[in-house]
Amino acid sequence: VVKGRAEEPVYIWISDQEVEIRPAAHLWGLDTHETAAAIQDETDPQAQVACIGPAGERLSLMASVMIGGTDSRAAGRGGMGAVMGSKNLKAVAVRGTSKPEYFDRQGLLRSVRQANAIIRDNSLAMTQFGTSGGIITTEQVGDMAIQNWRLGSWKEGAPKITGERMAETILTGNYHCHACPIGCGREIEITEGPLAGLQGSGPEYETIIGFGPMCLNDDLESIAAMNDLCNRYGLDTISTSGTVAFAMEAWEKGLLDSEDTGGLDLSWGNTKSMIQLIEMIGRREGLGAALADGTRAAAERLDANSIEFAVQVKGLELPYHDPRAFTSMALGYATANRGGDHLETMTYWHEYGKEWPDMGYVDPPDKLSSEGKGKMVADFQNFMQVFNGLGLCKFIAKAGVGPQLLAEWTNLALGWDWKVEDVLSTGERTFNLKRLINARWGISRKDDTLPPRMLSHPRPSGSAQGNLPHLGKMLHEYYEARGWSEDGLPTPEKLEELGLSDL
């Protein structure tokens, strides 16, 4: 745990057992790619670098921590880059040469290899087209976020921004995180036109939806450029794109004019203005200063009425899975501990049709119904606490890794005797612990809500047309399943059961 704040910019260099705090004034102001390269030059070419860019230095609440230099993997959500920036901590660089010890190394390797074969077979489309391979389906099922979540269909635009289109145009290869059997990461290069010369990490599903249909932009190359900019500044692409879309709607409604924007025309789909606005957000300049902390803060700074179309929960912009199309996500977003977050829930996969036999979920529910989702969301949140805590990629869960395998791998690694129930009860304890921390900050049922656009503005067309989640009813079911009070707080009995009664 890094406590306190350095007086001058620093980075932490960890080489096997040695830990050193080094000056980083010469790195302050560099983008994340430049920072990682400079630190590898100073330390070890094989060092892994997690760093912030100019957005984190300027304490943007949308600032991410970027990992792997030009590979651009992101700890994107929740403004962790601002936490590092507040400590004057530019980066943490690590190089380890010893191998971890396992209780049963051979058994673990055997089990992981068996699972990898299944994961690979179940993820062929992800390998070929990346996370954006399903974009046509996303549009067809009414899940696509369009024009700041206002429209219901975008048939004309969707085919132009898919993973398949990327493969036909700018894709040059796959990127695999360490030891990954899938390799969903995209490597791209633009060779013609105004963006010629851009190369590196390509945009993912969330980034494509955010800078694509959310802003009525069907130009895939411009989305790749916006992705690159966010990665370099160290900005979360979900929150940044949600905030750009918010600004475009404010422009449309006359709440922003060209004096506010420094001359930018924020009409929907204006890619040049979007690119400039991202630069302004990353540097906290001009209108970017008002937008750099996301839509909730921007609404407070610009015009109180604009909170109506600030699509966020607890200050975090929603990721691009529509809770009006997959109602379990309404509950997931409303109750996730860090705000509008899909990674604590992931139940839309089950509503899409994926079965989870080792959790007892083999019969996917009606995705538009608000009935019977409370226990399911709580169970999946519990599972995801452990999954996330083990540092595993969500896409292997989608490909078949459930709590049974988590228990098996934990036992082989540590010599424990976990069963599925232990995974889920550990997850339940973790989720409640996080809720207790939030409760200390005053979070309760009043905060477990959704933005007006999700509660009272149905999609006007498409498969999810007219549907809205009945959040009050769902919350009642959910709190009951969790053993929480109607005010959304863990009861003394529940804390006793979880061994948390001293908190």
**Residues engaged in binding ligand SF4 (CB under 6 A):** 176-177, 180, 182-185, 393, 395
CA torsion 481→483→484→486, rounded to 10°? 60
Minimum distance of ligand SF4 from residue 210's CB (angstroms) = 17
Which C-beta is closer to ligand SF4: that of 398 or that of 470? 398
Which C-beta is closer to ligand SF4: that of 72 or that of 222? 72
Minimum distance of ligand SF4 from residue 183's CB (angstroms) = 5
Measured over the CA atoms of residue 251, residue 257, residue 260 and residue 261, the dihedral's sign is positive
Identify the CA nearest to 174 among candidates 162, 188, 185.
185
**Residue 378, H or E segment:** helix 374-389
Minimum distance of ligand SF4 from residue 107's CB (angstroms) = 22
Which C-beta is closer to ligand SF4: that of 100 or that of 391? 391
Question: Cα separation of 311 and 455, whole Å?
Answer: 11
Which C-beta is closer to ligand SF4: that of 126 or that of 310? 126
Which C-beta is closer to ligand SF4: that of 147 or that of 174? 174
Minimum distance of ligand SF4 from residue 399's CB (angstroms) = 8
Identify the CA nearest to 277 among candidates 256, 303, 304, 254.
256
> % helix / strand / coil in the chain, to the nearest 5?
50, 10, 40
Minimum distance of ligand SF4 from residue 395's CB (angstroms) = 4
Identify the CA nearest to 335 among candidates 237, 465, 206, 469.
469
Measured over the CA atoms of residue 223, residue 229, residue 230 and residue 231, the dihedral's sign is positive
| Residue type at 208 in one-letter notation | I
Question: Cα separation of 355 and 364, whole Å?
Answer: 7
Minimum distance of ligand SF4 from residue 228's CB (angstroms) = 18
Minimum distance of ligand SF4 from residue 116's CB (angstroms) = 11
Which C-beta is closer to ligand SF4: that of 107 or that of 183? 183
Cα distances (angstroms) measured from residue 53 to each of 22, 319, 367, 441: 17, 22, 39, 29
Minimum distance of ligand SF4 from residue 195's CB (angstroms) = 24
Minimum distance of ligand SF4 from residue 102's CB (angstroms) = 20
Residues 6 or more apart whose Cβ sits within 8 Å of residue 184: 123, 126, 127, 130, 131, 174, 175, 204, 395
- In DSSP notation, 441-452 reads TT-SGGGS---H
Which C-beta is closer to ligand SF4: that of 182 or that of 359? 182
Which C-beta is closer to ligand SF4: that of 183 or that of 483? 183
**Residue 276, H or E segment:** helix 271-283
Which C-beta is closer to ligand SF4: that of 248 or that of 396? 396
